[in-house]
């Protein structure tokens, strides 16, 4: 880094600080857990036995296969659903667009185990909808197993593709489009040969998130897998099951999960590296005017997809107003669930809001400079950082949680038992999102702006703070809200790390659902939805006014 | 610059909020309970205990597997004072985390339901039962014993918790293997049973699924069956005619606990007669102490002596756990 | 006023030597242009002077001060970017005042200097406008004012005009040149457009693949290119591959394109492959005799066949082919009357001193 003091030093500082943070709060805790997969528990000698066991086990191979299959299928279905939806919402006139947009991001709000529970009540073997449809002679299959899991993943994860692709469609320079039309392409032909390739990087980035989330998600298969093995479930059982504790095998499976994720990330990066489609539109493209038939079809399609995806919410809401005797549902409308909830402490709600705010702020403060440096600067150090910072994507919350407890329960840094360890866990888990969204924003800012500022005598750090950050602000706010929202529904690390004073809403939901108060769980979920949907709505408004569809 | 100011103010505000939150419950006597019981139970016991002793309880509650991972990870600086609601299998395995305490009423509890060195003590018993949803299967048509579950007509209709994720499920499987002779023939029967089951991930899925009719039959626990039945669900609890097993759940004081006096008071409170009766009334937990008249209480549980209890070789099945689970896993896979 | 000295400056990206051992001196107050095709390392070199790119080997000096280790923001250079880089969140005046604020210049003085700078780029009335309300040319004027106002030691331009349309380009380059001269600032200007370079520069360095090929005043570069590459790059010269047929003192006969050229040059050996650089405007169309034989007073002429003629106003461009089909472009004055149509034979005279001979490599 000789020579350019300021700039190089700034970048190197960010890289080193980020690597230090991740080293302490990610690599070190994970190592305490994952090393179990290469150490013999009795002798402490190095071994690959757990990996061999997995390779030799039909069960675990099946589990890996099922997870990958669910991931790939969900990814495929999400693309098939979300890309046309994104096109419709970005470029067509669809009635009720703001409402649609807000509804479409709701699936990110609901903890997946609550959504899955609600879907079982609706579509389980004896679900309300199942029974009703059977009564009118419609033979419906069960929601359990691969189809159900893929459907749930598709309907809950599609915002990950919808949001960036919508932004992509809005950013396509209409000149390209007009040029293509001018060359005689039909509308569909233009879509396929011009628009689609341009938004492909966004599609890919979103699809990748879907794949990783589907691979790592625990709540949905836990409820819907019935007797199919899934990787995330097996990792949990081997780590923290009450019966089959086997840290070696769990570590090996976790490493496998990390490897799968890293593999696809590398593939994606390879693919992206060779293409650059940023077209920097100056004008927001005008909506395409359709005929009556087309308009109706587009409207029906959009509303159908979005309404389908908020079905679990409707179910949760309905259940929250039902009377429960112990665990038994009595179809009587009541407010008693809310009353019971309100009689209890408000702390879980307060904790959730507070922790999510701390985490969202911290993760943004950390993620923005990292995303900036990774987007602006290529060096060996930044490549290393790039790899390390994506690891949390692939690590299940349980594993990270346990690692954090082992690492920070005693010794030089004690964090357990308070809000700090929860915040650290959230920050680490959400950092990849924040870094990626910050990076995407930075890519839209002309680097010569910063150079101009430095050239005029403002130091790189000050330039970053006073020039770059304000320009990133709207996008960062969007990313921050997204982190905020997803933190409020985090369970898997929370359950390992929380202390009674820092119980959160998701813990409360989980405990009520596992215990004898599913009504209270539903009421808690409904309250949480209200509290998280509002900021979402506000942010959409804000971003829309600024002509930014980016989240 | 304006932006930084805002961030700073936000930070200050947060710090203040945190400080206030931390202040709130400082002075009084408190203890931390790790509980694998459900929320309703935790709340009831915590409130009762606070009322009778003035000691406040901070409950951390989740599955017993996670609790023990936490205990293991926190060994060097324990965060908990008492662990409760976990099976004797885990308690026996985890004695290194506990300190001995000779609880007050321990003589009311049979010796086989507590540790000889007082490292842990049983609080209640779980009986393995067959739960039957009578809306799906009229009362008399249901199975009366484990053997009946092998009938192919139940294929896909029995809910069973994955033994890899549930201690009681593992006990069920191994007790049946013992009952059936422990040899290859027993495994053949086991496969026939597994072939009829849907293997679910968590025991609550079995209880809920059976109570709501998702699965007509469930390999369940006494308390869960009664909880649903007594709350109006069409659930019938069958104590298998060919015998069952009583699993002990208990409590232990954590070694190095920050509040040992409070912890001990809590363990005593758990096994007091009124506490046990209250728990039974509310959630059908069968007390470990044998001086309570079950017939006069809700659920009208049969006395332990009236049940046909199978001999269960804890030590043997504990030693064979990993291999047996692997075999069960394979059997489950092969019968899908 | 500051002189710039580069000594053995090198920078590579992986296996690519973007800038390869460049040594140059830019005199005080000089308008110095880096010229070369895209990818030859001009930007990299300029950014090393500005401090945005590390110097791998070598040193850079502003006067007596070595600056290659000085952070970019302390080098006191004023850089104008191809993409304008006008801050979208500041007004025009705010943009221009930006560097003065960084230098903690007082409020009143800032106001006065900003006004002067804006007036000098003819934007006096637009101080309160927002960048999105300006055209490309106006934006670049803002950028120029912004870098002038800080009175930098050196002005740096990286293809500042290439995003503008042709007319604006010529207009603005004149203004840039005048401002630079008025303020007496040393300027380094990067462009790939040789006409632009010729028009504005005091001196030009032609770059190729990271190396400096030739440095000199525009006329010298244009008239006596040091290498075939410079010759070809500097103008639409005709490069004819040929072979030496005979050497007679200072006169060398070269067979190229199926015709014989007699040129002057350093001694070569018969049979050597060579390149002839013949500028279109150095050929004259002669009134040949009926059968098109090469007849001139000194016999220096060739015959070619006319393929296409382009009337460009002041000039007339003739596309011809030599006897073996090698194309040869000829520029005649627009006023000259040439009767031949396509397919007609032309007698072309040349001045031996104007044809430059390069060894073929
Ligand atoms: N940041 C970079 N990373 C890798 N290669 C680069 C980078 N910048 C420039 N290069 C390479 O260095 C060479 C010179 O580039 P540049 O200085 O931009 O050329 P010019 O400005 O003359 O068009 C090119 O081959 C280019 O690909
Ligand atoms: Mg360039």
CATH number for the domain including C284? Answer: 2.40.50.140
Residue-by-residue DSSP string for A399-446: HHHHHHHHHHSSTT---TTSHHHHHHHHHHHHHHHHHHHHHHHHHTS-
Instruction: Tell whether the model's pLDDT for residue A282 goes beyond 60.
Output: no
In this structure, the answer to whether residues C202 and C177 fall within a common structural domain is yes
In this structure, the answer to whether residues A438 and A507 fall within a common structural domain is yes
**Pairwise CA distance, residues B30 & B57, whole Å:** 6
Nearest ligand to residue C18 Cα:
1
> Please, what's the b/e burial string for B308-320 (b: 16 or more CB within 10 A of its CB; e: otherwise)?
eebebeeeebeee
Decide if B30-125+247-296 and B126-246+306-334 have a common fold.
yes
How remote is the CA of residue C19 from the centroid of ligand 1, in Å? 9
Distance, in angstroms, between B241 CA and closest chain A CA? 27
In this structure, the answer to whether residues C162 and C255 fall within a common structural domain is no
Q: Starting from the edge strand earliest in sequence, which strands make up the sheet with C16-26, in order? A: C16-26, C4-13, C57-62, C65-66
Asked if B325 has any chain A CB less than 8 Å from its own CB, the reply is yes
Distance, in angstroms, between C143 CA and closest chain A CA? 9
DSSP code of residue A284: P
A52 located within any domain: no
In this structure, the answer to whether residues A286 and A367 fall within a common structural domain is no
Q: C85 and A446: CB-CB below 8 Å? A: yes
Residue B85 falls in which region: left (phi positive, over 0), alpha (psi -120 to 50) or beta: left
pLDDT tens digits, A131-155: 888 888 777 777 888 988 998 899 8
In this structure, the answer to whether residues A411 and A293 fall within a common structural domain is no
Asked if A453 has any chain C CB less than 8 Å from its own CB, the reply is yes
> Which candidate in B23, B78, B80, B164 is best for mutational testing of the A interface (most A CBs within 10 A)?
B164
Q: What mean pLDDT is predicted for residues A386-400?
A: 84
CATH topology of domain B30-125+247-296: D-Maltodextrin-Binding Protein; domain 2 (3.40.190)
In this structure, the answer to whether residues A227 and A300 fall within a common structural domain is yes
What is the CATH architecture of B126-246+306-334? 3-Layer(aba) Sandwich (3.40)
Contact in structure between C156 and C124 (CB atoms under 8 Å): no
Give residue A159's domain range.
Answer: 57-320
Nearest to A175 by CA among A286, A327, A19, A275: A286
**Average pLDDT over chain A, rounded to an integer:** 82
In this structure, the answer to whether residues C228 and C250 fall within a common structural domain is no
The 3-class SS string of chain B reads CHHHHHHHHHHHHHHHHHHHHHHCCCCCCEEEEEECCCHHHHHHHHHHHHHHHCCEEEEEECCHHHHHHHHHHCCCCCCCCEEEEEEHHHHHHCHHHEECCCCCCHHHCCHHHECCCCCCEEEEEEEEEEEEECCCCCHHHCCCCHHHHHCHHHCCCEEEECCCCCHHHHHHHHHHHHHCCCCHHHHHHHHHHHHHEEEECCHHHHHHHHHCCCCCEEEEEHHHHHHHHHCCCCEEEECCCCCECEEEEEEEEECCCCCHHHHHHHHHHHCCHHHHHHHHHHHCCEECCCCCCHHHCCCCCCCHHHCCECCCCHHHHHHCHHHHHHHHHHHHHHCC
**Pairwise CA distance, residues C158 & C81, whole Å:** 5
In this structure, the answer to whether residues A367 and A234 fall within a common structural domain is no
In this structure, the answer to whether residues C263 and C118 fall within a common structural domain is no
Q: Residue A452 is nearest to which of C69, C76, C85, comparing CB atoms?
A: C85
Tell me the domain boundaries of chain B. Answer: 30-125+247-296, 126-246+306-334
In this structure, the answer to whether residues A278 and A404 fall within a common structural domain is no
Chains that touch A (3 or more CB pairs under 8 A): B, C
Q: Residue A471 is nearest to which of C71, C77, C89, comparing CB atoms?
A: C89
Angle at C98 between CA C95 and CA C102, to 5 degrees: 170
pLDDT tens digits, A49-89: 888 888 888 888 888 999 999 999 999 999 999 999 988 88
**Pairwise CA distance, residues A287 & A276, whole Å:** 25
Mention every residue, 6+ apart, whose C-beta is less than 8 A from residue C216. C203, C204
ipTM over 0.85: no
Q: Residue C15's domain is classified under what CATH number?
A: 3.40.50.300
In this structure, the answer to whether residues C196 and C286 fall within a common structural domain is no
How remote is the CA of residue C156 from the centroid of ligand 1, in Å? 17
Q: How confident is the model at residue A183 (pLDDT cuts 50, 70, 90)?
A: low
How remote is the CA of residue C3 from the centroid of ligand 2, in Å? 23
Q: What mean pLDDT is predicted for residues A492-496?
A: 84
A160 located within any domain: yes
pTM for the model: 0.78
Q: Residue A430's domain is classified under what CATH number?
A: 1.10.3720.10
Q: B74 and A405: CB-CB below 8 Å? A: yes
Tell me the residue ranges of DSSP E strands in A338-393: none
Q: Write down the residue that tokens 């207009």 correspond to.
A: C171
Say what the pLDDT of residue C290 is: 43
Q: Which of residues 295-314 of A touch B (CB under 8 A)?
A: none
**Average pLDDT over chain C, rounded to an integer:** 89
pLDDT tens digits, C32-64: 999 999 999 999 999 999 998 889 999 999 999
In this structure, the answer to whether residues A76 and A18 fall within a common structural domain is no
Say what the pLDDT of residue A277 is: 45
The residue of chain C with its CA nearest to that of A9 is C71
Residue B128 phi/psi, 5-degree rounding, is -75, 130
Instruction: Tell whether the model's pLDDT for residue B67 goes beyond 70.
Output: yes
Q: Ligand 1 pocket: which of C38, C39, C189, C213 to mutate (most atoms <8 Å of CB)? A: C39
Q: Which of residues 235-264 of B touch A (CB under 8 A)?
A: none
Nearest ligand to residue C20 Cα:
1
In this structure, the answer to whether residues A159 and A296 fall within a common structural domain is yes
Say what the pLDDT of residue C92 is: 94
Say what the pLDDT of residue A7 is: 63
Ligand 1 pocket, Cβ-based, cut-off 6 angstroms: C 13, 16, 18, 36, 38-44
A-C Cβ pairs (cutoff 8 Å, strict)? 93
Say what the pLDDT of residue C205 is: 96
Say what the pLDDT of residue B19 is: 55
**Is beta strand C251-256 parallel, antiparallel or unpaired with respect to C238-248?**
antiparallel
Residue B279 phi/psi, 5-degree rounding, is -65, -40
Q: How many domains does chain C have?
A: 2
Residues on chain B touching A359 (C-beta within 8 angstroms): none
Instruction: Tell whether the model's pLDDT for residue C297 goes beyond 80.
Output: no
Q: How many domains does chain A have?
A: 2
Give residue C55's domain range.
Answer: 4-233
A50 located within any domain: no
In this structure, the answer to whether residues C348 and C332 fall within a common structural domain is yes
Say what the pLDDT of residue A4 is: 44
Q: Is C79 or A226 the better-scoring residue by pLDDT?
A: C79
Contact in structure between A489 and A528 (CB atoms under 8 Å): yes
Tokens of B297: 């209480």
In this structure, the answer to whether residues C225 and C270 fall within a common structural domain is no
Mention every residue, 6+ apart, whose C-beta is less than 8 A from residue C3. C25, C26, C27, C28, C62, C63, C186
Contact in structure between C20 and C41 (CB atoms under 8 Å): yes
Nearest ligand to residue C22 Cα:
1
Q: What mean pLDDT is predicted for residues A354-360?
A: 93
Domain-ending residue, one of C208, C233, C258: C233
Nearest to B147 by CA among B244, B240, B247: B240
> Which candidate in C102, C104, C142 is best for mutational testing of the A interface (most A CBs within 10 A)?
C102
Q: How confident is the model at residue B335 (pLDDT cuts 50, 70, 90)?
A: confident
Contact in structure between A61 and A253 (CB atoms under 8 Å): no
Residue B133 falls in which region: left (phi positive, over 0), alpha (psi -120 to 50) or beta: beta
Q: Is C342 or B83 the better-scoring residue by pLDDT?
A: B83
In this structure, the answer to whether residues C262 and C172 fall within a common structural domain is no
Instruction: Tell whether the model's pLDDT for residue B27 goes beyond 80.
Output: no
From atom 7 of ligand 1, which residue's Cα is the shortest distance away? C13
Asked if A233 has any chain B CB less than 8 Å from its own CB, the reply is yes
- SS3 for C216? strand
In this structure, the answer to whether residues A144 and A217 fall within a common structural domain is yes
In this structure, the answer to whether residues C202 and C265 fall within a common structural domain is no
A238 located within any domain: yes
Q: Ligand 1 pocket: which of C22, C44, C47 to mutate (most atoms <8 Å of CB)? A: C44
In this structure, the answer to whether residues C217 and C300 fall within a common structural domain is no
In this structure, the answer to whether residues C284 and C198 fall within a common structural domain is no
Q: How confident is the model at residue A280 (pLDDT cuts 50, 70, 90)?
A: very low
Residues on chain A touching B90 (C-beta within 8 angstroms): 242
Q: C98 and A455: CB-CB below 8 Å? A: no
**Would you tell me how many other CB atoms lie within 10 Å of the CB of residue C214?**
21
**Pairwise CA distance, residues B211 & B235, whole Å:** 6
Distance, in angstroms, between C268 CA and closest chain A CA? 47
Say what the pLDDT of residue B11 is: 56
Q: Give the sign of the dihedral formed by CA C187, CA C188, CA C193, CA C197.
A: positive
In this structure, the answer to whether residues C260 and C221 fall within a common structural domain is no
A128 located within any domain: yes
**Is beta strand C31-35 parallel, antiparallel or unpaired with respect to C203-208?**
parallel
Q: A5 and C81: CB-CB below 8 Å? A: no
How remote is the CA of residue C43 from the centroid of ligand 2, in Å? 4
Domain-ending residue, one of C184, C199, C233: C233
Q: A126 and B212: CB-CB below 8 Å? A: yes
In this structure, the answer to whether residues A132 and A5 fall within a common structural domain is no
């Amino acid at each position: 880094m000789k020579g350019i003091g300021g700039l190089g030093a700034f970048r190197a500082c960010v890289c080193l600080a980020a690597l230090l943070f991740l080293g302490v709060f990610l690599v070190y805790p994970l190592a305490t857990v994952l090393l179990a997969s290469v150490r013999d528990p009795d002798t402490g000698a190095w071994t690959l036995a757990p990996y061999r066991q997995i390779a030799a086990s039909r069960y675990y191979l099946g589990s890996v296969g099922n997870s990958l299959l669910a991931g790939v299928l969900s990814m495929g279905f999400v693309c098939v659903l979300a890309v046309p939806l994104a096109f419709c919402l970005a470029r067509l006139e669809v009635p009720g667009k703001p409402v649609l947009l807000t509804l479409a991001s709701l699936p990110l709000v609901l903890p997946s185990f609550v959504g899955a529970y609600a879907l079982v009540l609706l579509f389980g073997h004896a679900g309300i909808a199942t029974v009703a449809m059977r009564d009118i002679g419609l033979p419906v299959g069960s929601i359990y197993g691969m189809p159900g899991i893929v459907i749930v993943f598709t309907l809950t994860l599609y915002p990950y593709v919808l949001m960036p692709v919508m932004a992509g469609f809005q950013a396509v320079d209409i000149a390209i489009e007009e040029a293509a039309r001018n060359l005689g392409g039909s509308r569909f032909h233009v879509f396929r040969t011009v628009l689609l390739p341009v938004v492909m990087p966004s599609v890919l980035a979103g699809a990748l998130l879907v794949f990783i989330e589907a691979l790592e998600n625990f709540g949905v298969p836990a409820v819907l897998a019935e007797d199919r093995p899934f990787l995330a479930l097996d990792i949990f059982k081997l780590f923290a099951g009450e019966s089959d504790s086997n840290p070696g095998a769990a570590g090996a499976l976790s490493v496998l999960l990390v490897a799968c994720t890293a593999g696809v990330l590398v593939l994606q990066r390879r693919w992206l590296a060779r293409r650059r489609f940023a077209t920097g539109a100056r004008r927001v493209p005008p909506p395409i005017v359709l005929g009556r038939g087309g308009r109706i079809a587009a409207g029906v399609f959009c509303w159908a997809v979005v309404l389908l995806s908020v079905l679990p919410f409707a179910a949760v809401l309905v259940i929250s107003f039902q009377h429960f005797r112990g665990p038994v549902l009595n179809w009587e409308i009541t407010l008693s669930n809310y009353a019971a909830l309100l009689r209890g402490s408000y702390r879980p709600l307060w904790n959730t809001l507070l922790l999510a705010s701390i985490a969202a702020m911290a993760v943004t403060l950390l993620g923005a400079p990292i995303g900036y440096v990774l987007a602006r600067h290529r060096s060996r150090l930044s490549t290393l950082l790039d790899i390390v910072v994506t690891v949390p994507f692939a690590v299940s919350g349980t594993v990270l949680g346990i690692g954090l407890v082992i690492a920070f329960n005693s010794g030089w840094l004690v964090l357990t038992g308070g809000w700090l360890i929860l915040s650290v866990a959230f920050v680490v888990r959400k950092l990849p999102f924040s870094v990626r969204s910050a990076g995407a924003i930075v890519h839209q800012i002309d680097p010569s702006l910063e150079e101009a500022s430095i050239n005029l005598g403002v130091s790189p750090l000050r330039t970053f703070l006073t020039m770059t950050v304000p320009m990133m602000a709207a996008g960062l706010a969007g990313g921050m809200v997204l982190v905020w929202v997803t933190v409020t529904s985090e369970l898997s690390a929370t359950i390992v790390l929380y202390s009674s004073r820092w119980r959160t809403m998701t813990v409360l939901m989980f405990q009520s659902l596992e215990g004898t108060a599913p009504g209270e769980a539903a009421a808690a979920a409904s309250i949480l939805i209200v509290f998280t949907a509002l900021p979402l709505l506000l942010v959409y408004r804000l971003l829309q006014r600024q002509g930014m569809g980016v989240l | 610059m304006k932006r930084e100011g805002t961030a700073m103010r936000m930070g200050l505000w947060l710090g203040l909020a945190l400080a206030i939150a931390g202040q709130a419950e400082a002075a009084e006597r408190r203890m931390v309970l790790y509980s694998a019981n459900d929320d309703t139970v935790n709340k009831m016991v915590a409130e009762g205990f606070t009322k009778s002793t003035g000691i406040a309880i901070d409950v951390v509650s989740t599955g017993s597997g996670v609790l023990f991972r936490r205990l293991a990870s926190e060994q060097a600086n324990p965060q908990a004072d008492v662990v409760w609601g976990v099976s004797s299998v885990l308690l026996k395995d985890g004695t290194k985390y506990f300190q001995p305490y000779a609880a007050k009423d321990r003589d009311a509890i049979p010796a086989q339901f507590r540790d000889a060195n007082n490292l842990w003590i049983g609080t209640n018993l779980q009986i393995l039962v067959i739960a039957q949803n009578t809306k799906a299967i009229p009362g008399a048509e249901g199975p009366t014993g484990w053997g009946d579950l092998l009938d192919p007509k139940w294929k896909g209709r029995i809910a069973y918790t994955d033994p890899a994720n549930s201690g009681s499920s593992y006990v069920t499987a191994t007790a049946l293997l013992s009952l059936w002779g422990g040899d290859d023939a027993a495994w053949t029967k086991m496969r026939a049973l597994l072939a009829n089951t849907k293997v679910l991930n968590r025991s609550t899925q079995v209880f809920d699924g059976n109570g709501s009719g998702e699965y007509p039959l469930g390999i369940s626990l006494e308390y869960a069956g009664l909880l649903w039945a007594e709350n109006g669900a069409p659930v019938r609890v069958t104590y298998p005619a060919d015998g069952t097993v009583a699993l002990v759940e208990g409590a232990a004081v954590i070694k190095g606990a920050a509040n040992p006096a409070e912890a001990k008071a809590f363990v005593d409170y758990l096994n007091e007669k009124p506490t046990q009766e209250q728990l039974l009334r509310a959630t059908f937990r069968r007390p470990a102490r044998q001086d309570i008249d079950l017939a006069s209480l809700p659920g009208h549980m049969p006395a332990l002596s009236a049940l046909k209890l199978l001999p269960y070789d804890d030590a043997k099945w504990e030693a064979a756990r990993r291999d047996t689970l692997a075999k069960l896993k394979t059997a489950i896979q092969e019968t899908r | 006023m500051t002189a710039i000295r580069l000594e053995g400056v090198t920078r590579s990206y992986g296996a690519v030597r973007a800038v390869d051992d460049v040594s140059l001196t830019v005199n005080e107050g000089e308008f110095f242009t880096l010229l070369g095709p895209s990818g030859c390392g001009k930007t990299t070199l300029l950014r090393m002077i500005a401090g945005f790119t590390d110097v791998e080997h070598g040193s850079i000096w502003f006067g007596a001060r070595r600056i290659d280790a000085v952070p970019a923001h302390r080098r006191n250079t004023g850089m104008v970017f191809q993409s304008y880089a006008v801050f979208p969140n500041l007004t025009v005046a705010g943009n221009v005042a930006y560097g003065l604020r960084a230098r903690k210049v007082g409020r009143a003085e800032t106001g006065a200097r900003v006004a002067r700078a804006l007036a000098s780029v003819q934007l006096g009335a637009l101080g309160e406008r927002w960048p999105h309300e300006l055209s490309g040319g106006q934006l670049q004027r803002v950028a120029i004012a912004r870098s002038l106002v800080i009175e930098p030691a050196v002005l740096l331009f990286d293809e500042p005009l290439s995003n503008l349309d042709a007319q604006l380009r010529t207009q603005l380059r004149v203004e840039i040149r005048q401002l630079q001269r008025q303020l007496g600032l040393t300027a380094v200007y990067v462009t790939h457009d040789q006409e632009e370079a010729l028009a504005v520069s005091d001196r030009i360095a032609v770059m190729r693949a990271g190396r400096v090929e030739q440095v000199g005043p525009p006329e010298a570069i244009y008239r006596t290119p040091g290498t075939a590459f410079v010759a070809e790059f500097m103008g639409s010269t005709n490069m004819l591959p040929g072979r030496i047929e005979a050497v007679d003192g200072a006169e060398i006969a070269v067979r190229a394109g199926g015709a014989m050229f007699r040129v002057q040059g350093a001694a070569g050996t018969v049979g050597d492959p060579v390149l002839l650089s013949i500028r279109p405007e150095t050929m004259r169309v002669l009134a040949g005799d009926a059968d098109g034989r090469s007849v001139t007073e000194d016999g220096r002429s060739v015959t070619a066949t006319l393929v296409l003629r382009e009337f460009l106003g002041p000039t007339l461009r003739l596309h011809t082919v030599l006897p073996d089909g090698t194309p040869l472009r000829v520029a005649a004055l627009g006023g000259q009357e040439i009767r031949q149509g396509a397919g007609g034979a032309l007698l072309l005279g040349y001045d031996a001193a104007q044809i430059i001979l390069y060894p073929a490599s």
